[in-house]
Structure 1
Amino acid sequence: MATEESPSTVDTIPVSAVKLLFVEMGVGYDQHGQDVTAAAMRACRDAISSNSIPAFRRGSIPGVSFEQMKLQIKLGVPHSLQQLLDVEKVKSVFPYGEIVKFEVVDGGLICSSGVHVEEMGDKNDNCYIVNAAVYVGY
């Protein structure tokens, strides 16, 4: 049965002072080693890996320079794993742009990978999945 989200649970633009250009979304997982930070870093890389942003470097936006790029990161991480997330390590995925907001909310998934491989650092057969939304603006 589908449930409707109340307007208070979803924010359309996380920081309204930022002029939003686009939103990139990604998913990352760690199926060996049970490292939620690795899953979050993969989700962020997935979100930004297929995009190029020449507008900031080429002056396509009048009056806006590359140094003015603002990023807002929102991660969906399983609640029970949020305290294990290394936020600073996840932030290191972004090669440029000022991160003006970094938010972690309940989301993602813990599921079985179907295999427990001790040689790969597995503690169990859990797979951690994290979702990322990266808001890019100025």
Structure 2
Amino acid sequence: MEAVEGSEGSRGSSSPMKLLFVEMGVGYDQHGQDITVAAMRACKDAISSNSIPAFRRGSIPGVSFGQMKLQIKLGVPHSLQKSLDMEKVKSVFPYGEILNVEVVDGGLICSSGVLVEEMGDKNDDCYIVNAAVYVGY
């Protein structure tokens, strides 16, 4: 999912999008071994420290708030990709049309160092997901 500056679209998108910026985040699930939780946290991390007043204030001539488009790319360990609940991941985004979500091999499975049954742990695995959120119109 590469976007070329000044292009009318980006590879891998279902609709043309003019790219404005890319937000990046990392999410973890240390207890419970739920890759969807890690992916949702990665997306929240990517968007949580940004404000996008340009869409609401008309700073981009001819572009309204309703025209915001998103493309999401997630790095998820290959063995866990099939258990990812994409609808839950998409629910993290409060607005913007999600054009596509691409899941690629990435992320990490490592030890959290402890198994805590009271927190739902099946083992001591920690799941890590990386997210890139492409924002445009």
TM-score of the pair, normalised by structure 2: 0.91
Q: Distance in 1 between matches of 2:49 and 2:62?
A: 26
Identity %: 85
Hey, what does 2:73 align to over in structure 1?
74
Divergent runs of 4+, >3 A: none
The structural deviation recorded for 1:12 is: 2.3
* Corresponding pairs, count: 128
Hey, what does 1:5 align to over in structure 2?
none
Q: Distance in 2 between matches of 1:29 and 1:84?
A: 15
- Matched to 1:114, the amino acid is G
- Matched to 1:108, the amino acid is G
Hey, what does 1:44 align to over in structure 2?
43
Hey, what does 1:33 align to over in structure 2?
32
Hey, what does 2:2 align to over in structure 1?
12
Hey, what does 2:102 align to over in structure 1?
103
List gaps (5 residues or longer) in structure 1: 1-10
- Matched to 2:48, the amino acid is S
TM-score of the pair, normalised by structure 1: 0.91
**What is the CA RMSD across the aligned residues, in angstroms?**
1.0
Q: Distance in 1 between matches of 2:65 and 2:98?
A: 14
* 1:91 counterpart = 2:81: no
Q: Distance in 2 between matches of 1:116 and 1:57?
A: 46
The structural deviation recorded for 1:101 is: 1.1
